[in-house]
Structure 1
């Protein structure tokens, strides 16, 4: 999970993931068209995203296609967000119940 957090910490890598979310299965050239950085820099960022399993690749002939893998992000959501969110939802539900039970409501 550390690799995922490291990969997500960089703005350029998040932009790459956003581009893949908009249109999955892009080539390096397509992804470079959305960013103002060198091809080598995009390649380096994609490698980090692949190592974190946030991007998976597939070859179509000589073209390397990049696909977003949402599973690691979902694991972060389950591990770090949802468990904290549940407590707040329970508190809101309890507040609503108390307000609805008050006399004169």
Structure 2
């Protein structure tokens, strides 16, 4: 694995960008879900989709700067394994009730 690292300033810059884009997604989702602009649902849905795509682009770019493909694949497998283990734990717990 070819580990890449950021300095403190780079981490802060990237996280600030992610937070900014995430705020836009959440705001657009709130308007769309709450129906605050009745009659403009399509407009808010379009804004939501665009902001989600922007957030995904930002996250994808950050991943490419931080890790190589092998590390990203490892993280995906580890996350999947953790999720499966959590589900199995819940199933086992419910089976014991």
Structure whose CA Rg is larger: 1
Relative to its length, the structure with more helix (as a share) is 2
Normalising to structure 2: TM-score of the pair?
Answer: 0.40
Whose relative contact order is higher, 1 or 2, with alpha carbons under 8 Å and at least 6 apart? Answer: 2
Normalising to structure 1: TM-score of the pair?
Answer: 0.38
